A and B are shown apart, each in its own frame.
Chain A
Amino acid sequence: GIQVEQSPPDLILQEGANSTLRCNFSDSVNNLQWFHQNPWGQLINLFYIPSGTKQNGRLSATTVATERYSLLYISSSQTTDSGVYFCAVELNTGNQFYFGTGTSLTVIP
């Protein structure tokens, strides 16, 4: 099956710092999405980004499908950004989503 690996596994930042989270996948994908899981367990969809670059406020994401990786950028981090970030890939339309191993982010004031 497809392998989805995320790095780093853990990240501690001072409030206001920037960070880059990486997602590598082992096969061609039809769909890639980034999620933030808050401390209460809710998974929030941040981006649907099978290729290219998107931005939403302080967050942006880039997927280079030909090289099988995606990056999530967080700028001017805030304590509310804390939680676990997952990428999920879909091999073909209508198939299941495979989740990565996650990056646990802690932003300290």
Chain B
Amino acid sequence: EAEVAQSPRYKITEKSQAVAFWCDPISGHATLYWYRQILGQGPELLVQFQDESVVDDSQLPKDRFSAERLKGVDSTLKIQPAELGDSAMYLCASIRQETNEKLFFGSGTQLSVL
């Protein structure tokens, strides 16, 4: 069964350093989401792409976070500089548009900022 691929699985960094996460959605899925999940809470949307275009980034802290999906396939989420409060699970998800279908998640990147 096709999966959403994410890497790395774990990332430990020091505050003020730059970090990057990568996501490859299921083939044919036009919409890609980046979510952040703090321990004990539900996932919260950071950014939504439709193909290569940003649909919603209203919750993305743009002073330090950036996201791109240049060719409308895989995507990168970057944090620079990282802060202690950024420690969380970063999840990528994708869904095929035009029809109502299931949302699929990758295994996530667990970020720890020291």
Q: Which residues of A are in contact with B by a Cβ distance under 8 Å? A: 30-31, 33, 35, 40-45, 48, 50, 86, 88, 93-97, 99-102
Contacts and interface: CB of A to CB of B under 8 A. Distances in A.
A63 to B, nearest CB: 13
Given A41-B110, A42-B108, A48 B42 contact: no
A26 to B, nearest CB: 15
Contacts of B56: 95-96
B74 to A, nearest CB: 19
Interface range on chain B: under 10, 10 to 19, 20 to 34, or 35 or more?
20 to 34
Q: Is the interface of B mostly helix, strand, loop or mixed?
A: strand
Given A31-B100, A41-B89, A45-B102, A96 B33 contact: yes
28 contacts: A33-B102, A41-B89, A41-B107, A41-B108, A41-B110, A42-B105, A43-B43, A43-B91, A44-B105, A45-B103, A45-B105, A48-B100, A86-B42, A86-B43, A88-B42, A93-B97, A94-B55, A95-B56, A96-B33, A96-B48, A96-B56, A97-B45, A97-B93, A99-B42, A99-B43, A99-B44, A101-B41, A102-B42
Nearest to B37: A41
B75 interface: no
Contacts of A42: 105, 107-108
Contact of B100 (A30, A40, A100): A30
A-B CB proximity, top 7 nearest = A99-B42, A43-B105, A48-B102, A96-B45, A45-B102, A99-B43, A41-B108
